[in-house]
Every structure is written in structure tokens, then in C-alpha cells.
Amino acid sequence: MRKRVFFIVIILSIFFACEDQNVNKDNNEYTITYIANGGNGVMVEQKVKGGEKIKLNKNNFTRDNFSFKGWSTKASSNSVDYTDEVEITMPSSDLTLYAFWKSNTTSEEDKIIFLHHSTGKDIWNGGNGDNVPKIIANYNLAHNTNIQISKSGYPSTPSYGWQNYPYDYWNIWVNHGEENQYKGQDTLIPLTTEYDVIIWKHCYPVSDVLENGASSSISSDTKTVANYKLQYEALKIKMKEYANTKFIVWTGAARVKSKTNEANANRAKAFFYWVVNEWDEKGDNIYIFDFRKLETEGGLYLKEDYAKNSSDSHPNSDFSEATAPKFVNRIINVVNGVGDNTSLTGE
């Protein structure tokens, strides 16, 4: 009798052990895709069923003056998720892995200027003061890079006035672009001489977009979609003249619902949708940071949870702190040459 019981226990143990081996497995086949992420070369995909163990392929990508450190699940990640040739358990979904590189030598200085007003200052501070330069300094230490960023109110009072809308950038950079300065404001001639990357933005009144008039004019400071488009097209041509300088353009800051109306907000949304999907082109020296998408989450207004209060269109401390590292990620991706292939929101 004891022998029978012992034999049954053994059989059941084997049965449940076999069952355990199949926990979390499924019969669907998934793909592991390898992305060079700034490097060169080709790697074959791997096919494996969910829940099965598999050894990652050995890295075959190369990148001049960089060392391969492993694989990340995001192109803009600052850390490694998997080391080379590690064994993993396949999730029940496709897996895309991006090569993670570290510079072999300290690079030449990448000098950046952030032209902003109050909304930009909120993000710069990131909730606890100068958060953007602190994050970049930490990145430099971790990656042996030399990215230097500074900020400036632009245009500034009292020489020009406190307006930084499409008309104003067009007026200073295009209309008076053959001069070194206009009303005390540097044009692109001195700015591109000093900086490798120029970041520029508009404050939230840019979203007070009026109905188009009977005619449009590039030299009009009236905030309409038609005027904005003329000014942006001219600005794109001007920025492309400085091909050795990279430009990062923020989509316009949004208003809280109590400080605008639905028609104006819809026009603002339509204009910046055009900027992202038509005006922006891959392969040039101009990149977008889609700040408006972060603020509105695709809606018409700055979400009240992200605003200082229901009647103040400035971002609050929590939103600013959460957005600062996304802004830095976007900057780093552009500096590293992958701005066209990574998230416009830095996520």
C-alpha cells in the first residue's frame, strides 16, 4: 500500500512539474527586432513564442567613437534594460530593442540656447529650480558628453517688447535677418555663430487665434492661422540657410478653458497640427518638441490638473517637474542625431 501511495505521489509531482513549465506560455509567435539607434549594420529578427526563454542575438551594430553597452526598450532611454546575449523570457508581445551607446571620448561642446518667456521658464525650473540644466549635467557625467545649455528671455523688454509670437520671430529673423540685431534682439547671424542648437517657443497668447480675415499678410501681427502659416514658411526657409545649426521649435502653449473660447482653441489646435504634420520635414535641421500635446493630451485646452489654477495658463510645479526630463530627452535625441526617429514629446 505504501509503495502505491509513493508511486502516485511521484506521478503527480511529475505531472505538476510539467504543468509549471508551461505557466505563462502561449502558442503565439512574437518578434524581437533590433534597432541600430544611431549605429550602422544589420541584425536579423528573432521569432519566439510568448513565455519561452531565448538568448538575445549578439550585437552586430557599430558606431564610430561609441561603445555598445546593451539594449534599451526605448530609443531615448538613458539606461540599459538588457545586456548583450542575455537570456530573457519572451513577453506575450513583440519586443523592439534599441542599441545603447556611450561615447568613447569627451565630445566637442554642444552649445544650446533656449529662447523663452514665462512658460518656458516654468519648465526650465522643473518644479525645483534649474532642473533642465541639472538633468543635462547628470547626462554629461553618465555619457561623457559636453552639452551646455543656457536660457534667455526672447524677445525681451523694453527694447522690443514682450511678444514672442510667429510675427515677432519672422520680423526679427526674416524681415531684419540681414542685420546683426533689431531693436536690441540678436538675429540668427550672431545666434547661429555662437550656438549649435537654438530652441524657440511662444507663450500661451499664441493660442488666441482669431478667424482669418479677408486677406492674409506675412507682415501682420494679427493672430490668424493664415498669417501664422505665411510666417512659419518664411521662418523655415531662413532656418534652413543655417544648415550647421539645429533648431528645436516648441508647439504653442495652450490656454486654460476659462481664458479662451472654443473657436480660438480649435484654430490653435489646427495650426499646430499643421506644424507637426505638414510644416515639419524629416531630414532637415529643424525639429519639433510637441509641448502642446503634453499640456492638452490632444484636447483643446491646458488641462486644469496641469495649470497653476483654473484661470492661470502657466503650468504648475508638478507638470513642470514631469515635463523637464521629457524636454531634455528631446534635446539629447536631436543632439545625438536621432531627432527624426524619436518621440516629439521626449517620452
H-assigned helices in the chain: 2-21, 118-125, 131-143, 166-169, 188-194, 225-240, 262-274, 291-296, 317-335
pLDDT of residue 23 exceeding 90:
no
Helix (H, G, I), strand (E, B) or coil at 209: coil
Q: pLDDT digit string (tens) for 329-345?
A: 999 999 988 899 899 99
Percentage of residues in the chain having pLDDT higher than 70: 90
**Once rounded to an integer, what is the mean pLDDT over residues 312-339?**
93
Confidence of residue 200 (pLDDT cuts 50, 70, 90): very high
**Once rounded to an integer, what is the mean pLDDT over residues 146-169?**
90
Confidence of residue 273 (pLDDT cuts 50, 70, 90): very high
pLDDT of residue 250: 96
pLDDT of residue 240 exceeding 90:
yes
Helix (H, G, I), strand (E, B) or coil at 160: coil
Give start-end residues of each CATH 2.60.40.4270 domain in the chain: 22-103
What CATH architecture does domain 110-341 belong to? Answer: 3-Layer(aba) Sandwich (3.40)
Query: Which residues, other chains included, contact 126 with Cβ-Cβ below 8 Å and sequence gap of 6+?
Result: 132, 135, 320, 321, 323, 324, 325
Q: Topology of 22-103 in CATH?
A: Immunoglobulin-like (2.60.40)
In 3D space, the residue among 286, 116, 292, 301 whose CA is nearest the CA of residue 201 turns out to be 116
Give start-end residues of each CATH 3.40.50.1110 domain in the chain: 110-341
Q: pLDDT digit string (tens) for 37-68?
A: 989 999 999 999 999 999 999 999 999 888 88
- Binning the chain into helix, strand and coil, the percentages to the nearest 5 are 35, 20, 40
pLDDT of residue 64: 87
**Once rounded to an integer, what is the mean pLDDT over residues 177-183?**
93
